[in-house]
Amino acid sequence: MPLDRHARRFLEMLAAAGKARGRYEDVEERRTALAQLADLVDPPGTVEIGGVREHLLPVHDGHISLRIYSPLGPPARQLPGMLFFHGGGWVAGSLETHDGLCRRLSNETGCRVIAVDYRLAPLHPFPYGLADAWAALNYVVRNPKIFGIDPVRVGVAGDSAGGTLAAVLCRMARDAATDSPHAPRIAFQLLICPILDVHGESPARLELAEGYFLDNETLQRDLELYVPAGTELSDVRLSPLLAEEFADLPPAFIHTAQFDPFSDEGEAYAQRLGGFGVSVHGRAHTGMIHYFYCMPRMIPYALEAVRIIGTEIRYAVDLPVKERRVHRRIRPELIRA
């Protein structure tokens, strides 16, 4: 399939304005660019929702913010929960850049979405962000009444670099359960255009290295700031795709984009999970680019993609489906179908 015409126009606009992404030196430049883009393509606070509130969570050497989104509909004391970790290469992104997506995910899935404002590099390099994510998961699962969630129906979700965190949390929780009955249990993992092998050189990485919004130079600079010198990029906490086994991980919902440099990684991850008996659903969104799901004002299909995700998650957490669609279970090798 060709590039979606709205996505193509967006890329042409970036190029014409001289704002096509590339290597940067100032991390604030990277953060500001993403924040300005979010304000343009999906301004925070514009999606009607049942309610939003903030919660402050103490963590090692500081604190982080959690933002709790409740879906539209009659108030409920207890709903399924979804911890969400935003993308941005572990150096950029915020609760604000993904506010619209979190609101839509809450409305479409029926979950209380708990967005985690984990700390970013370079001030807080790896593994700070992962440690914050682990602390948030444990705190939320152990304090369900604070968040109004069902502790046995809590999933993790993330896009791009946040997808890495979500995938790694699933492995950490599974491994912790062998030593402690109090380890958090994860009901599902939702990975949207995830980065799963930071050192990978897949065909998509090579073919889409530049000109498709998130380019290789930006990723390499992100890694320089995020990963301390001497750290192996093959560490499964950075590259979960490189793990040797994938047994007993939570059911996965993996969504990739055809023109995303990380698309091959998402599909390979689905194959590895399925090979170890893990339930895998998902879709390769044809014609789409990285971050499309956060750009409904520029790429209208973003709304449909989130509706598709919502239907999948509603089935997973046993909630009524808002609008019936035909969804078959997708075998890992058919994720492009």
Q: Which residue has the tokens 């799901």?
A: 293
* Residue 290 annotated to the active site: yes
Catalytic annotation present for 70: no
Task: Name the amino acid, one letter, at 211.
Answer: G
Task: Specify the 3-state DSSP secondary structure of 269.
Answer: helix
Please say whether the beta carbons of 204 and 264 come within 8 A: yes
Q: Which amino acid, one-letter code, is at 9?
A: R
Catalytic residue among 160, 222, 255, 281: 160
- Catalytic site residue from 86, 98, 124, 290: 290
Instruction: Please report the beta strands in 136-188, taking only residues with DSSP state E, as ranges in sequence order.
Output: 149-159
Report the alpha-carbon distance of residue 136 to residue 129 in Å, rounded: 11
| DSSP result, 49-92 | -SEEEEEEEEETTEEEEEEEEE-SSS--S-EEEEEEE--STTTS
Q: What is the DSSP string of 219-248?
A: HHHHHHHHSPTT--TT-TTT-GGG-S--TT
Q: In what order do the strands lie in the sheet with 280-285?
A: 51-59, 62-70, 112-116, 79-85, 149-159, 189-192, 252-257, 280-285
Among the options 42, 222, 260, 264, which is catalytic?
A: 260
**Which residues are tagged catalytic?**
160, 260, 290
